[in-house]
Amino acid sequence: MTPTTKFWAVVPAAGVGKRMNADRPKQYLELAGKTVIEHTLLRLLSAEVFAAIAVAISSEDPYWPELEVSSHHQVITAPGGKERADSVLSALSAIRDVAADEDWVLVHDAARPCLTAADIHLLINTLVNDEVGGILALSSHDTLKNVQGQTILGTLDRSHIWRALTPQMFRYGMLKNALESGQGNLAITDEASALEIQGLQPKIVEGRPDNIKITRPEDLALAQFYMGQQHD
Ligand code: C5P
C-alpha cells in the first residue's frame, strides 16, 4: 500500500426489502431511536477511515433527503440500480473522479446496522496487503443440506462452507471492471462473486455473528438486542 492509497465505503441502499412486509423500505424502519440506514452510516463514519461514503438510493425514495446524514460532507448520493450489483456500480461511478484504481473500496449493505469498528479494522488490517481483497464471513454451526423441493439430496461438508457478510473489500479498479463485465449476470449476488467469475480468489476474514442483515420483521428486535450488548 502506498501512503496515498485511500479507503472508500459504498453502501447499496436502493432495495425495497419485500420480506419485511412494511410500509417503507427496510433501511428506513426505526431501530433504537434512528432509522436502520442512519445506524449503518454513523458506524461507517465513526470508523474514521473513509475518504467518503457513496450511497446508492432509489430515484423514487422520499425518505433519504429527510435524513440529516444525507447531507453529511462525507456522504455522496448516487442513483440506485435494478439489482444490488447495479447499485454498487452506480455508487462506484459517482466517485470515479476522486478514487484511484488502487484505492480500496469497502461495500457494506445498508441493512447491516450492527457493524462494529472492530470488524472494519480487522478486515482492513488483514487484507490491506492482499492482491485481491476479500470479505467478512461466518462459518456455519448447523449441518447443511442440499435440498430439492422438500427432499434432501445430500449433506454438504460444512468445513468448506462460509456465509458471506459485508463489508466486502476490493480495489476500486478491479471491482469496477468485474462488475461491468458481469452486468446482467444474476449469479452475482455480492462483490466477491463478481471477482470469482473473473477467476480471482478473494479471501475470507471471520467476522462477528452480530453483524446481521435486517431481512425479516423479527430481525429488528434482534439488532436492538445486539446493539445493547456491543461495547466496542
Ligand atoms: O435485499 P437484500 O437484503 O439482499 O439487499 C442487500 C442490500 O442491497 C440492501 O442494503 C439493499 O438496499 C441493497 N440493494 C440495492 N439495490 C437493489 C437491491 C438491493 O442497493 N436493486
Identify the CATH number of the domain in which residue 217 sits. 3.90.550.10
What per-residue string of b and e applies to 53-72 under the rule 16 or more CB within 10 Å gives b?
Answer: bbbbbbeebeebeebebbee
Other beta carbons within 10 Å of 127: 20
Residue 232 has pLDDT above 90, yes or no: no
56 vs 143: CA distance, rounded Å: 36
Measured by CA distance, the residue closest to atom 6 of ligand 1 is 109
**Is 1 within the bounds of a domain?**
no
Tell me the CA distances in angstroms from 106 to 74, 90, 120, 152, 192, one per residue in order: 15, 15, 9, 37, 11
Peptide bond before 167: cis, by omega within 30 degrees of 0? yes
The total domain count for the chain is 1
**Is 76 within the bounds of a domain?**
yes
Structural domain harbouring 86 = 7-230
**Ligand 1: which of 55, 64, 77, 84 to mutate, most ligand atoms within 8 Å of CB?**
84
CA of 86 from ligand 1 middle (Å) equals 10
Q: Which atom of ligand 1 is nearest to the CA of 109?
A: 10
CA of 151 from ligand 1 middle (Å) equals 30
Q: How far is CA 156 from the centre of its chain?
A: 26
Measured by CA distance, the residue closest to atom 21 of ligand 1 is 83
**Is 14 within the bounds of a domain?**
yes
Q: Which atom of ligand 1 is nearest to the CA of 12?
A: 20
**Is 15 within the bounds of a domain?**
yes
**Is 171 within the bounds of a domain?**
yes
110 vs 114: CA distance, rounded Å: 10
**Is 26 within the bounds of a domain?**
yes
Cell numbers given for 206: 471471520
Calculate the average pLDDT of the chain. 96
Residue that is written with C-alpha cell 470488524 in the block: 119
What is the percent of the chain where pLDDT is above 90?
91
**Ligand 1: which of 57, 61, 109, 115 to mutate, most ligand atoms within 8 Å of CB?**
109
Measured by CA distance, the residue closest to atom 7 of ligand 1 is 109
pLDDT digits 0-9 by tens, 45-99: 999 999 999 999 999 999 999 999 999 999 999 999 999 999 999 999 999 999 9
**Is 170 within the bounds of a domain?**
yes
Cell numbers given for 170: 476490493
Other beta carbons within 10 Å of 11: 29
**Is 2 within the bounds of a domain?**
no
